[in-house]
Amino acid sequence: MKETESSCLNEFPFLRPEMKHVSLYTLQEPLFSARLHQNEGIPLNETEKSQLSEQCANFINAHRSLNTYPSVDPTALRDAMANLYGVSPDCVEPTCGSSQGISLIAQACFDKGTAVSVVEPSFSLYKSLCLIQGSNYRSVPLRTDNFEYDMEAVLKARTSDVIILCNPNNPTGSVLPVASIAQLAASSKGLIVVDEAYIEFCPELASSVSLVSKHKNVLVLRTLSKAWGLAGLRLGALVGHADLIKVFRALKPPYSVTGLSEHLGVFALQNWQQNFAAKIAHVQAQQSKMLATLKMIPGVVMAPSRANFVCFVHPKSYDLELELRSKHNILIRVYGQKNQKDHASYGMARASVWSDDANDVFMAVAQKVLGS
């Protein structure tokens, strides 16, 4: 991502100086490619697609349809999410993807000079919003030997105003047990943000939503973009103590969740639960295969990768990305740059589970390019 040219700031003196940190989130992606680069859910199956088509038609033909505003408060979605996450509805605020939840946190909590600690490497939106708000960004690195959380370093950040952890982490798939998060929350006056975008892919990992009734300073982000395979609907949630959620409910712009998205999201949560475990098991099996294949390649350093993706470091990652994209129409994500060997993320790459065929091609090409 490229930051705004400083000449732009000279031309528009009314922009805040922090606008120099605003950067376009661009991804160059051919329309028909296998998408192993965005950690999305696997493509919907034919049954799911036809169910959603029918529900779209039901919504469009309903009394309250596309010509009307959605209800100000998406209560049906809130109730369905509260049921899913095992909390009371007043502890949940549905958002336009969890990205909106992150923006609301930045608006509410990232003041000028506020100390925001982020465990890194992390989802890039946290750092950009922190810089745009003029907050004081503090990096808390993962362990350099194995990319696991360094609990000592995390606990040292407890004096920060806000501490952000992704659990599992993007891009490394590192995880923290809920007991460690409870320990951090108890020892800090700051807000502890736990981003659980990928937690459904780790059924053995307990969610921090269980902490919110006891710890008013824990705020959890959830999404339907990953395991539920509904990134296009833009549905996420903030889960926290009811008193804290009230603030975010008031701050969120009205109609952030569209009526159609709410309708389809509620349908999925009410009707796809019984196939959900099987879907997760399928993704886990594919992910384990990808992990095992990469581990066998000499010179590959694996990150923990406990999610729907694999994350690894190898100097030939850039060649692998190019070959997959140009010859096989498969996209993966690489970090750093080929000519910047001293960059912290040099050689890091991430690939998420997609169709079985695309995963097989990814593994074969990885063996060829990285193993040569």
Ligand X SMILES: Cc1ncc(COP(=O)(O)O)c(C=O)c1O
How many residues form the binding site for ligand X (CB under 6 A)? 13
How buried is 76 (Cβ within 10 angstroms: 0-12 exposed, 13-18 middle, 19+ buried)? middle
CB count, 10 Å around CB of 214? 11
Nearer to ligand X, 99 or 261 (CB): 99
Please identify, among the stretches 92-100, 136-144, 180-188, 325-333, the one whose residues bind ligand X according to the rule CB under 6 A.
92-100
Q: Is the separation of the CB atoms in 194 and 219 below 8 Å?
A: yes
Amino acid letter for position 64: R
Collapse the DSSP code of 338 into the 3-class scheme (helix H, G, I; strand E, B; otherwise coil) and give the result: coil
CB of 164 to ligand X, least distance (A): 10
Would you count residue 268 as binding ligand X (CB under 6 A)? no
Q: Name the H helices within 216-272.
A: 242-251, 259-271
Q: 87 vs 233, which CB is nearer to ligand X? A: 233
What is the distance between the alpha carbons of residues 115 and 103, in angstroms, rounded to a whole number? 16
Residue 174 found at the interface with ligand X (CB under 6 A): no
Under rule CB under 6 A, residue 195 binds ligand X = yes
Q: Alpha helix (H) ranges present in the chain? A: 6-11, 46-61, 75-85, 97-109, 125-132, 151-156, 178-186, 242-251, 259-271, 273-295, 317-328, 356-371
| Pairwise CA distance, residues 196 & 77, whole Å | 18
Rule CB under 6 A: is residue 347 a binding residue for ligand X? Answer: no
Give the angle 154-160-165 at the CA atoms, nearest 5°: 45
* Sole binder of ligand X in the list 82, 129, 166, 192 (CB under 6 A): 166
For residue 159, the minimal CB distance to ligand X (Å) is 24
**Whole-angstrom Cα distance, residue 214 to residue 178?**
13
**Residue 229 binds ligand X (CB under 6 A):** no
Site string for ligand X, 47-86 (x = CB under 6 A): ----------------------------------------
Indicate whether 197 belongs to the interface with ligand X (CB under 6 A): yes
Q: Which is it for strands 301-302 and 34-35: parallel, antiparallel or unpaired?
A: unpaired
CB of 371 to ligand X, least distance (A): 29
Tell which one of 70, 74, 236, 265 touches ligand X (CB under 6 A): 236
Residue range at the interface with ligand X (CB under 6 A); choices 97-105, 305-313, 335-343, 349-357: 97-105
- For position 202 contacting ligand X by CB under 6 A, the verdict is no
207 part of the interface to ligand X, by CB under 6 A: no
- Residues lying near ligand X in the complex (CB under 6 A): 39, 97-99, 123, 166, 170, 195, 197, 223, 225, 231, 236
